[in-house]
Amino acid sequence: MGKFAVIDIGSNSVRLVVYENDGRAPYVLFNEKVLCGLGRGVSETGNMQSDTMADALSTLRRFAILLKKMSVRKYRVVATSAVRDALNGPDFVEKVRRECRLKVEVIAGEEEGRLSGYGVLCAMPHAQGIVGDLGGGSLELVHIDDGRVFEKCTMPIGPLRFQNTEGELINNPKETIKKNIMDVDWLTKKQHDTLYLVGGSWRALAKIHMLENDYPLTNLHNYSLPFQEVMTLTEMVSKMNQEDLAKYSDYISGRRLKVLALSALVLKRLLKTLQPNNIIVSGYGLREGLVFDALPTKIKKKDPLIEVCHEIAETTGRFSEHGLRLLNWIDPLFDGESSEDRRLRLAACMLSDVGWRGHPDYRAEMVMSDIMYGRLVGVDHRGAGLIALALYVCYGGSIGDRNTAMAEALVKPEDISYANRIGLSLRMAQRVSAGTAKGLKAISLHKPDEQNLVLQLNRDKADLVNEVVMRRFVSLSKEMGLEAQLTYT
């Protein structure tokens, strides 16, 4: 398929993202953002300022060079609120064409919202509720359900609308924000739906919530926040001045801090209107929506978690076809599990061979780190923690040691035993089969009753079960409170 890139010219930032391909779960090869502030002053003067345009043009010239250096032939360049609304927007677009040799698509506000909605669905295909995408110049709201985008609207209430060129407040932000949100007639019908937060400023607010609550993970994507805690946070931040906000400067850029209080004010008003049951941060938005929107329907319906696990297994594992066979082989140990847990177990099976290149003494730790900080998509934090724990055990680690505290903090208490069972069963299966699908054909696993766990194999293949295999089988049986039985046919 080849590499694919998106250049996003926003009101606050200009960003280049290069993806490994334009498939269902594209891996990011390169991601660079420059806060140019194109939207600052547009509501006051009607035009983008010469210094911000100069910053943006310099950034875009760099990005154009990088596209050539990385041999990226497929890409899209889109501009949103600032370029869309400024009187000198067309002149800026022409300058970009002449100086950077880039063709800019200026997209309408509702189209921006639609694409942001599909960006959320790209990562969370079962998402249902309201997507709020706050940029520097506008807020887009869209209703998503059943894998599709329905109602959508755009409002000129991005934080840069309420700052003049000197960064001072203008345009009565509190009343303007309230009026715009209250005028969306369909929004009150969606009260108590889940709210998905998109945009750098709202992610920065979520980062503050993580810091204040000592959350064990730093990955903001799929981070879930309680309604009342976010209300308290937005109330606090919306009243903070720049001196107060400076305490977060080690974690949030200075330019982002300048608009954070206004961004909190917008979110506070939206929360009062929606009163959502759940609030989830999405790391995916407009750019991923551009990729997802162009996919054939058949590809869109694929599970992003399973797709990305397949890609990882193909590029780093020895026998990428082994995952589904492993899942079916250990099925007798997991009767009664939910469909979501079986999906997570399939992901663990598909990834169970990806750490083989590491040094044996560090494989468990390496795989744990890869899952907790890596490229998995289509999975929440609890799911990532469960997969990480299962693979840690698969590679010889023990849940409860110094490396598992973070993952344990993300899962439910009952998940610990579940992850241990997955890990121990995969550890045994990988030893039996040497990591191949064919290696499991001569041997099977059964739980005939509530007292015994049976490993059954053809007598002419008896040598497959050596001391190591038997030791791992006994460990698995003990974890399940069952007696290990070896039988022959």
Number of C-beta neighbours around residue 90 at 10 A? 11
Identity (one letter) of the amino acid at 433? S
In this predicted structure, what is the pLDDT of residue 410?
95
Beta strand extents in 295-393 (DSSP E only): none
Q: Is pLDDT at 289 greater than 90 in this prediction?
A: yes
> Which tokens is 98 given?
């002449």
> Residues near 58 by Cβ (< 8 Å), separated by ≥ 6?
none
How remote is the C-alpha of 10 from its chain's centroid?
A: 21
Look over the chain and give the mean of its residue pLDDT values, rounded to a whole number.
Answer: 91
More confident residue, 133 or 27: 133
Give mean pLDDT, residues 271-290: 94
Q: Is pLDDT at 136 greater than 80 in this prediction?
A: yes
Distance CA(83)–CA(59), nearest Å, equals 15
Residue whose entry in the numeric block shows the structure tokens 């154009």:
64
| Strand (E) or helix (H) holding 117 | helix 109-123
> Which tokens is 3 given?
């590499």
Looking at domain 304-488, its CATH architecture is Orthogonal Bundle (1.10)
Residues in the chain: 489
Distance CA(198)–CA(205), nearest Å, equals 11
pLDDT tens figures, 350-391: 998 887 777 777 888 999 998 998 878 999 999 999 999 999
Distance CA(86)–CA(105), nearest Å, equals 15
Q: Is pLDDT at 412 greater than 90 in this prediction?
A: yes
In this predicted structure, what is the pLDDT of residue 437?
65
Residues of the chain with pLDDT > 70, as a percent, come to 98
Identify whether the C-beta of residue 260 lies closer than 8 Å to the C-beta of residue 238.
no
For residue 473, count CB atoms less than 10 angstroms from its CB and return exposed for 0-12, middle for 13-18, buried for 19 or more. buried
Beta strand extents in 80-201 (DSSP E only): 104-106, 129-134, 139-145, 148-155, 194-198
- Convert 59-83 to b/e letters by CB count within 10 Å (16 or more is b): bbeebbebbeeeebeebbbbbbbbb
Q: Is pLDDT at 122 greater than 80 in this prediction?
A: yes
> Residues near 434 by Cβ (< 8 Å), separated by ≥ 6?
none
Instruction: Tell me the domain boundaries of the chain.
Output: 4-107, 109-288, 304-488
Looking at domain 4-107, its CATH architecture is 2-Layer Sandwich (3.30)
Distance CA(117)–CA(150), nearest Å, equals 9
Long-range contacts at 432-436 (CB < 8 A, ≥ 24 apart): 432/464, 432/465, 432/469, 433/322, 435/317, 435/318, 435/319, 435/322, 435/353, 435/356, 436/319, 436/322
Nearest-10 Cα torsion for 340, 341, 345, 350: 20
- Judged by average pLDDT, the poorest of 323-327, 392-396, 475-479 is 323-327
pLDDT tens figures, 436-472: 667 778 888 899 999 999 998 888 888 888 898 889 9
Among 469, 458, 404, 460, residue whose Cα is nearest residue 433: 469
- The reply to whether domains 4-107 and 304-488 share a CATH topology is no
Quick check: helix, strand or coil at residue 233? helix
Identify whether the C-beta of residue 169 lies closer than 8 Å to the C-beta of residue 94.
no
| Strand (E) or helix (H) holding 478 | helix 467-479
For the question of whether the overall pTM of this predicted structure is more than 0.95, the answer is: no
Residue 317's pLDDT band (cuts 50, 70, 90): low
In this predicted structure, what is the pLDDT of residue 321?
63
Residue 150's pLDDT band (cuts 50, 70, 90): very high
Q: Please provide the CATH number assigned to the domain covering 109-288.
A: 3.30.420.150
In this predicted structure, what is the pLDDT of residue 397?
93
Q: Is pLDDT at 228 greater than 80 in this prediction?
A: yes
For residue 158, the 8-state DSSP code is -
In this predicted structure, what is the pLDDT of residue 320?
58
Residue 172's pLDDT band (cuts 50, 70, 90): confident
Q: Is pLDDT at 213 greater than 90 in this prediction?
A: yes
Distance CA(451)–CA(461), nearest Å, equals 26
| Strand (E) or helix (H) holding 19 | strand 13-19
